[in-house]
Structure 1
Amino acid sequence: MTSDQTCVVLRGRLRALMEAGFDVIVVSSPGHWLTSVAETEGVSVVPIPMRRAVSPWRDAIAFFRLCRLIARLRPEITDFSTPKCGLLGTIAAWLMRVPRRVYTLRGLRLESSHGLERWVLWWAERISCWCSNVVLCNSLSLKDAAIVCGIAPAEKLVVLGRGSTSGVDTERFSPGESDVRKQFGIPVDTPVVGFVGRITGHKGIPELMEAFHEVQRRRPGCWLLLTGWFDRSEDALDERLRREIESHPRVLVTGSVDDPPPYYRAMDVFVLPTHREGFPNAALEAAACGLPVITTCATGARNAVIDGETGYLIPVRSSAAIAEAILRLISDEGLRKKLGRGARAWAVEHYERRNVLKRVVGFYRLLLTPEWKIEMEGMRVRATSANPADFGEVGDVG
């Protein structure tokens, strides 16, 4: 991956592969999360500095290092993701003749880009897909978007089950007690609207703040709990909005937390007003904790909610829709609990971590068989008419 932050979503997945007998090496820019994943997952790591933005000289150095690493390791499988590392890594793997090359599509940044940037990102994605044997999409709607954008032919695109990187640990993320409200001085009977993730523009934070002003006007006692950090990436918030958030008496920003379940349990409603996703892990975690989830109809995000059963799907960039959905839920405890129960049941049924990781391990094992291309084509055909149970460990591949 380009940034070490992406390592966070691989927890569980890496350990499962190690326990299945794979020798796993993780490559990303150096940082806290890369070091952490080495310690918690037991994998080897190789730090290679990479920047998200275009930087010809640094990109050339990173590319050379990737080529040298692949030549030394001679891996059976490479799996690169995120636009910059995906581009450099898949080209390097193709040049080094790695026999099985996977490009994992975790989202389409080009969907929220315009002009020259969008054109550059489109070509980067297209080349990454061309250099790969398989493009592993993180959700069904992401696969559809990839086809519509024309970055890869449909026969290269694969989704494991219903998507998700590693599923959710439904025992750890579950309803229960929390001391977070006491820690921050929030009364027990006060509505709390929650968000978990990077606090950036494309996560919909500007719209969420606008919506919260309206919610506060109609329900003055409400709190907004932002469990995350101000990311200084290309979609960082402007300084004015950041100061507004930091100075608001009813908005709490926690920074990065090591143990998120108690923060979910302190919330009444979870909101992810994102502009684009691959598949949002935070929405799964919130659902597993028994929270109704409000998210947008954006790519990836719309696969994380069953509208009206586990939460609500709303239009992208609509602060009015966010406010109305929040007010509906915090004003009706019965509805809130009903959707929360539905969310928990749905997460347990379809995204329990052990089942998702079985499909992941099965996918990589399949790649090691001599007939893997034939087998994958067969699964694509069967996925149009058969039950998911017919696909064994790999799950239904669409």
Structure 2
Amino acid sequence: MDATQSGPPSTSTSTAGRPVKVCHIITGLGTGGAETMLTRLIEGRDPRRFPTTVISLMDRGQMAERLEAAGAPVETLNLNRGRPTPAALFRLRRLVEHHNPDVIHAWMYHANLGIMAGLGRPFAWNIRQCVYDLADESRGTQAVIRLGGLLSPQASAIVYNSRLSRIQHRALGYSERRDEVIPNGFDTATFRPSEEDYREVRRELGLPTATPLIGMVGRLHPIKDHPNLLAAMTIVAAEHPQARLVLVGRGLTEDNVELMDQLRALDLHDRVILLGERRDIPRITAAFDVAVLSSKSEGFPNVVGEAMACGVPAAVTDVGDAAWLLGEAGRVVPPQDSVQLARAISELLAMDEVARRQLGQKGRRRIVENFSLGAIVARYHALYARLAGVRFEAPAYAPPSATEPHAADSQALPTPQTQNASESADAEP
């Protein structure tokens, strides 16, 4: 299946034989990248062709309602983070036997190991992060990663969402026999440019319409390297005093005393807007003039693709597959270099409106043509059918419609198949 195709997945069942029952097992159902991609995958499937159940090792999180609304029952084990028990594994096995899936698909390290409770059925692992240095992980996570390498030959398939992640895990001893890269897909109907959102979000924040907004979506976590972004913002503020930085994600709220102290120490308390967790990410993203990824570690960063789909140019650190995803739709800088990050942000802000809009259009075209949700869903469906031994033909896709913003005037861009062709062919989406 070629990931350059666009459009929603077909809901026709005429392309194959019997349905394939899939059971997804995931560590939790919060609002992270893996949970979001799982939810989009289930919402985009044909429920008659791929009836689905989801088992969360922890609680229901924020995504359970969306999953159930899409017709996927959600089961929970309510485990405490990092504390699996033999009894929990027994319960997991009983749940798998009860739902009797044709294929089991695990998401993230702990679920990958928990899936061993479903042996006797084809199962796939889904690895969602890069590992630059095992020493950066907790001792428990280090042990889980190492154990995963030992057990990986037993997996029927290993799916990575980034090319770099596959390279790193192979170096850690993960089996190469049945691995592949399936990048994240993006809903370009939900994430799209919106002049209305651009104005309305500023109105809600009490800002003039002309206020330049720099934005980053990502929870407060060391790998997101917010201190790097804040240091860069002190430099940007000197050149663009009207600009405001919008931070969205868990932990990024005004009741975070430590964070507020940092902002005051940097004299940024009146230049940074903290929105915490939000459920209206598409409209907030569409309001940015420049999107930022300041991370020091990533796999395949959803937030970059979402910003691109909204027609927003981005300044990103060169981590994971961020640079490959961005292409020429923004600026790429080394991680943990606030001076270069500030320069990249300032350059994008300094562009005239027409040039910046054209750069954003280039980014949206790249997402529509290379990373549409429909094409990525079809690749997962092909994987499940193959593991279940069922015939499957990928549904036909229409080319980007001339009525879709920025699609009609698209020009040829490097595709995942042609870029960095020195890598093995099945590494490319």
Residue 226 of structure 1 and its aligned partner are, at CA, apart by 1.1
Gaps of 5+ in 2: 1-25, 393-415, 419-424
Residue matched to 2:28:
3
Which residue does 2:40 correspond to in 1? 12
Q: Tell me how far 1:353 sits from its aligned partner.
A: 1.6
Cα distance, 1:37 vs structure 2: 2.7
Specify the alignment match of 1:132 in structure 2: 155
Shift in CA distance, 360/273, structure 1 to aligned 2, threshold 3 Å: same
Higher helix fraction: Structure 1 or Structure 2? 1
How far 1:74 moved relative to its partner? 3.0
TM score, norm. by length of structure 2: 0.76
2:378 is aligned with 1:352: no
Separation in structure 2 between the aligned mates of residue 243 and residue 65 of structure 1, nearest angstrom: 45
Amino acid at match of 2:318: C
Alpha-carbon distance in 2 for matches of 1:346, 1:23 = 31
Taking the TM superposition and a 5 Å limit, the aligned residue runs for 1:242-253 are 243-245=261-263, 248-253=269-274
Matched, 1:329 2:352: no
Question: Which amino acid in structure 1 is aligned with residue 389 of structure 2?
Answer: T
CA distance in 1, matches of 2:48, 2:164: 29
The residue aligned with 2:123 is 101
Q: How many residue pairs end up in the alignment?
A: 360
Runs of 5+ unmatched residues, structure 1: 233-237, 373-386, 390-395
Output the amino acid matched with 1:322.
L
Question: Contact conserved, 2:39 with 2:67, CA < 8 A, in 1?
Answer: no
Q: Is the 8 A contact 2:110 2:144 kept in 1?
A: no
Bigger relative CO (Cα 8 Å, ≥ 6 apart): 2
Once residues 18 and 64 of structure 1 are traced to their aligned partners in structure 2, the CA distance between those partners, rounded to angstroms, is 31
For 2:343 and 2:312, how far apart are their aligned partners in 1? 17
Q: Is the contact made by 2:53 and 2:99 (CA closer than 8 Å) also made in structure 1? A: no
Counterpart Cα distance in 2 of 1:263 and 1:115: 32
Preserved contact between residue 311 and residue 339 of structure 1 (Cα < 8 Å): yes
SS in 2 for 1:26: strand
CA contact (8 A) 1:145 1:299 kept: no
The answer (yes or no) to whether the contact 1:329–1:335 under 8 Å persists in 2 is: no
Report whether the alignment pairs 1:279 with 2:304. Answer: no
- Partners of 2:236 and 2:204 lie apart in 1 by 24
Which residue type is aligned with residue 171 of structure 2? V
Normalized against structure 1, the TM-score is what?
A: 0.82
In the TM superposition, 1:94-173 aligns within 5 A as 94=119, 97-98=120-121, 100-108=122-130, 111=133, 113-114=135-136, 117=139, 119-127=142-150, 129-150=152-173, 152-160=174-182, 163-164=183-184, 167-173=185-191
Partners in 2 of 1:189 and 1:366 — Cα distance? Answer: 52
Say whether 1:92 aligns with 2:121: no
After superposing the two structures, state which structure 1 stretch, 71-80 or 114-123, moved more.
Answer: 114-123
The whole-number CA distance in structure 2 between the counterparts of 1:35 and 1:356 is 22
CA distance in 2, matches of 1:241, 1:120: 32
| CA pair 113-355 structure 1, distance change in 2 beyond 3 A | same
* In 2: Cα distance, 1:67 partner to 1:16 partner: 27
Are 2:299 and 2:319, in contact at CA under 8 Å, matched by a contact in 1? no
Note the C-alpha offset of 1:111.
4.0
Name whichever of 252-261 and 135-144 sits farther off: 252-261
Distance in structure 1 (CA, Å) of the matches to 2:338 and 2:88: 41
Change (3 A) 1:27 1:69: same
Is 2:86 the partner of 1:60? yes
2:389 aligned residue? 369
SS at match of 1:172: coil
- Aligned counterpart, 2:421: none
Distance 1:88 1:9 in 2: 20
The alpha carbon displacement at 1:243 in A equals 4.3
Q: For 1:146 and 1:231, how far apart are their aligned partners in 2?
A: 31
Question: How many angstroms does 1:148 deviate by?
Answer: 2.6
Instruction: Give, in whole Å, the separation in 2 of the partners of 1:258 and 1:225.
Output: 15
Equivalent of residue 42 in structure 1, options 48, 67, 71: 71
Using the aligned pairs only, state the percent identity.
25
Report the more deviating stretch, 246-255 or 311-320.
246-255
* SS of 1:79 mapped into structure 2: strand
Provide the secondary structure at the position in 2 that maps to 1:186: coil
Equivalent in the alignment of 1:69:
95
* Correspondences of 1:207-246 after superposition (within 5 Å): 207-230=228-251, 240-241=258-259, 243-245=261-263
**Aligned to 1:75, what secondary structure does the other structure show?**
coil
Secondary structure of 1:12's partner? helix
> Which amino acid counterpart does residue 36 of structure 1 have in structure 2?
E
1:180 is displaced (CA, Å) by 0.3
CA distance in 2, matches of 1:116, 1:139: 22
Q: Deviations over 1:107-160 (max 9, x none)?
A: 13574643872642431331452331110111222222222333x132221123
**How well do the aligned residues superpose, as a CA RMSD in angstroms?**
2.8
Deviation at 1:326, TM superposition (A): 0.4
**How far apart are the structure 2 equivalents of 1:305 and 1:258?**
24
- Structure 2 CA distance for partners of 1:243 and 1:2, relative to 1, 3 Å: farther
Q: What one-letter code is carried by the residue in structure 2 that aligns with 1:240?
A: E
Counterpart residue number, 2:359: 339
